[in-house]
Amino acid sequence: MMKSPYPEARKYVFEWGFFMQCPRSDGTLKEVTVDGVTVDICESCGGVWFDAQELAKFDEAHEESGQELLALMAQYHSDGLDHAGLLKSPKDPSVTLVRRYYSPKEEIEIDECPITGSIWLDAGELAKIHDLFPSQEDRKRAYRDFAVRFKRSADIEKMKREGGRGKTERVMGLFEWIFGR
């Protein structure tokens, strides 16, 4: 692994979780726990960092808690974010994340840490859906439509080829938790 260019003091701050810089915007990440799953949410753009060990908990987490996380993400503004460059890991800025999925129209991107398997997820359209549809049934339908597009996307096929089954399943597990099974 490459050595972090950050001074020890800064590294200490990262490791103790006082703050992590958002990889997407100029916001900082705040730790929240939803149904036993602890994630870091950006208080500026609503994007979320899922640590690899937290991703493993989705199997046991409840469907409603995915909706709860979306409600949190919807509190922030994700419009007009820059998707041009690749993101750096908020845990270690010397690591560049691998872009696994990007939908320009929906402004949603999924990026994966090539070392730990942790995932960054933009709020984008996911968060907007939460505000657009007042009824839970309509919201669920909208999320499921997105899930279908996501599963059929060329990026998922590419991920299967490059990352193998385990990595693809981890991202699919994340979406199943968010959208419901």
Which chain residues interact with Zn ion by CB under 5 A?
22, 24-25, 27, 42, 44-45, 47
Partnered with residue 120 across adjacent β-strands are: 49, 111
CB neighbour class for 79 (10 Å; exposed up to 12, middle 13-18, buried from 19): exposed
Rounded CA separation 42/123 (Å): 10
Q: Give whichever of 55 and 123 is closer to Zn ion, judged by the CB atom.
A: 123
Residue 42 phi, psi (nearest 5): -80, 125
Largest CA distance in the chain: 49
CB of 86 to Zn ion, least distance (A): 15
Q: Least CB distance from residue 81 to Zn ion, whole Å?
A: 8
Backbone angles phi, psi at 70, to 5 degrees: -60, -40
Q: How far is the CB of 127 from Zn ion (least distance, A)?
A: 12
Of 42 and 55, the one with the shorter C-beta distance to Zn ion is: 42
When the beta carbons of 92 and 159 are compared against Zn ion, the nearer one is 92
**Closest approach of Cβ 136 to Zn ion, in Å?**
27
Identify which of residues 11 and 77 has a Cβ nearer to Zn ion in the complex. Answer: 77
Alpha carbon 98 to its chain centroid, in Å, reads 13
